[in-house]
C-alpha cells in the first residue's frame, strides 16, 4: 500500500511509485513545484514488522553530499571561503605532499586528486571502527599526495570529499559540519536533515534499516569483476572506498549504517539522515534561486555559480561520463541521469537515493529507500515530468 498524497494531476507519479514496490524494505518519494509540495509518498517497511510512515527517515548515503555542498556555498556566499584560494589558505597543514596547488574549487568539484586516507588500513575498518578518529583522519589527509595535477582530472572522491569539506567549513566557521547543517540549513527551513545518529539518538526508533543487496556471483561476471576491483586495497578505486582486500564500506553497509559504529560518526559525504520530503524541500530552495518561504540561504548568483559546469570528461576511476558542478552532479554522471534532458543539478547516493533541483521548471524531488541495490529507480521522476508537461 502507498501512503501519502499527490496533488491533482500527479496521480501518475503515485502509480509509478507503487509499481516500483518490488524490492525488500520500503521507500519514499517527494516533490515540490513552484514552492509547494505536490507529491509525498511512501510504501513498504522501515524495518521488519514496522511500516514506513510519513516521518520515517532513511540513510541518504552520498545524497548528503548535496547538503554538504550547500553548507560550503553558504560559506562562500558570506565571504568566508574563496573558491579560487588554495585549501592551505585555511588549512595550512594541507600544503604538504605537493597540495599547495589544490584550490577550494577542486575539493568541491572532485578534481583535487586526494582520493584516499593514507595508511587507513592501520586503524580503519569497514564496519566503522576507527572512523571516529577524525583528528587522525584529517592529519593523514593533510599528508596525502594528489594523484594528478589538481583540476586537470576528475573522479568521485567518495569519502575524502566529505572529510575535506568538513575541515574547510570548520576552519572558517569554528563549527562542525553537523552543527552548520543543523543551524544554517535545517532549522531555517524547518526540516530535519542531519549527519549520523550518535548513541542515544531517538531517530533509531523511526529510522529505516539499511538492507544490502546480495553479493555478485559468477552468474553476473561484470558486476563480480567490479566488486573485486572496488574491494581491493591495491586499486585506486578500492583505496578511494578504504577497501581492505575483501571488503569496504559498501559491502558492510548493514553493519555500518544500522547499529555499527559507522552510523554514529559525522560523515559529511556518506551518512546523512533525512526524509525524502525534507530533502526535496531543501532542493526546492535551490530550484527557486536560494530562497523559499521567505528564507534565503544563498544569493541567486551563488546558486548559479554552484550549479555551473566545472568539469566535463571521463571519470578517472569509474570510466564513465563525468559532469561536475561545484559539489553537485550534472547529468549524466557516474552512469546516472536525472532531470528531463539532463536539466538541473543534485546528488545521488549509493543504492538508489537521490535529490535534485530543476530551476528551469521550479521543480525539486527526492527518493530514499532502505534496499541499497545497484540501480536507480527513476520511474517516479519520469512520471513527475510527464505530470508537469
User: Could you give the C-alpha distances from 387 to 277, 354, 365, in angstroms and in order?
Assistant: 18, 20, 13
Look up cell 525539486; give the residue. 364
Query: Helix (H) and strand (E) counts for the chain?
Result: 13, 14
Contact 28, 13 (CB under 8 A): no
Could you tell me if residue 155 is left (phi over 0), alpha (psi between -120 and 50 degrees) or otherwise beta?
Answer: beta
Annotated catalytic residue within 62, 232, 240, 268 = 62
Dihedral of the alpha carbons of 124, 129, 134, 139, in degrees to the nearest 10:
-20
Task: Name the one residue in this structure whose C-alpha cell is 585506486.
Answer: 236
Give the C-alpha separation, 250 to 151, whole Å: 27
Which residues 6+ apart lie within 8 Å of 236 measured at CB? 115, 116, 147, 155, 316, 317
C-alpha neighbours within 13 Å on the C-beta side of residue 361: 22
Task: Judge whether 62 counts as a catalytic residue.
Answer: yes
Give residues with Cβ within 8 angstroms of 169, minimum separation 6: 71, 72, 75, 175, 176, 177, 180
Residue pair 297/290 in contact (Cβ under 8 Å)? The answer is: yes
Which residues are catalytically annotated?
Answer: 62
Amino acid at each position: 500500500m502507498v501512503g501519502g498524497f499527490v496533488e491533482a494531476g500527479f496521480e501518475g507519479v503515485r502509480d509509478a511509485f507503487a509499481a516500483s514496490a518490488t524490492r525488500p524494505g520500503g521507500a519514499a518519494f517527494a516533490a515540490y513545484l513552484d514552492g509547494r509540495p505536490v507529491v509525498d509518498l511512501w510504501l513498504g517497511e522501515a524495518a521488519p514488522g514496522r511500516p514506513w510512515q510519513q516521518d520515517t527517515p532513511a540513510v541518504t548515503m552520498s545524497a548528503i553530499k548535496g547538503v554538504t555542498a550547500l553548507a560550503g556555498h553558504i560559506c562562500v556566499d558570506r565571504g568566508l571561503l574563496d573558491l579560487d584560494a588554495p585549501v592551505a589558505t585555511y588549512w595550512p597543514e594541507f600544503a604538504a605532499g605537493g597540495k599547495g596547488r589544490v584550490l577550494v574549487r577542486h575539493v568541491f568539484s572532485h578534481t583535487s586528486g586526494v582520493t584516499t586516507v593514507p595508511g587507513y588500513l592501520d586503524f580503519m575498518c569497514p564496519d566503522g571502527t576507527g572512523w571516529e578518529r577524525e583528528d587522525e583522519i584529517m592529519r593523514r589527509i593533510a599528508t596525502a599526495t594528489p594523484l594528478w595535477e589538481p583540476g586537470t582530472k576528475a573522479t568521485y572522491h567518495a569519502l575524502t570529499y566529505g572529510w575535506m569539506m568538513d575541515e574547510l567549513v570548520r576552519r572558517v566557521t569554528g563549527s562542525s559540519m553537523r552543527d552548520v547543517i543543523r543551524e544554517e540549513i535545517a532549522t531555517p527551513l524547518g526540516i530535519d536533515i542531519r549527519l549520523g545518529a550518535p548513541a542515544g539518538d531517538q531517530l533509531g526508533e523511526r529510522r529505516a534499516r539499511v538492507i544490502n543487496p546480495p553479493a555478485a556471483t559468477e552468474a553476473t561476471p561484470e558486476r563480480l569483476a567490479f566488486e573485486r576491483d572496488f574491494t581491493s586495497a591495491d586499486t585506486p578505486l578500492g583505496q578511494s572506498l578504504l577497501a581492505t582486500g575483501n571488503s569496504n564500506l559498501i559491502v558492510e553497509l548493514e553493519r555500518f549504517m544500522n547499529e555499527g559504529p559507522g552510523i554514529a560518526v559525522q560523515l559529511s559525504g556518506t551518512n546523512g539522515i533525512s526524509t525524502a520530503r525534507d530533502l526535496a524541500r531543501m532542493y526546492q530552495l535551490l530550484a527557486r534561486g536560494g530562497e523559499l518561504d521567505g528564507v534565503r540561504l544563498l544569493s541567486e548568483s551563488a546558486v548559479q555559480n554552484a550549479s555551473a559546469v566545472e568539469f566535463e570528461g571521463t571519470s578517472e576511476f569509474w570510466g564513465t561520463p563525468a559532469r561536475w558542478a561545484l559539489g553537485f552532479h550534472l547529468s549524466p554522471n557516474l552512469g546516472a541521469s536525472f532531470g528531463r534532458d539532463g536539466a538541473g543539478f543534485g546528488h545521488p547516493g549509493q543504492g538508489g537515493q537521490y535529490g535534485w533541483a530543476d530551476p528551469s521548471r521550479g521543480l525539486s524531488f527526492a527518493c530514499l529507500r532502505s534496499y541499497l541495490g545497484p540501480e536507480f529507480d527513476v520511474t517516479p521522476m519520469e512520471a513527475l515530468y510527464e505530470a508537469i508537461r
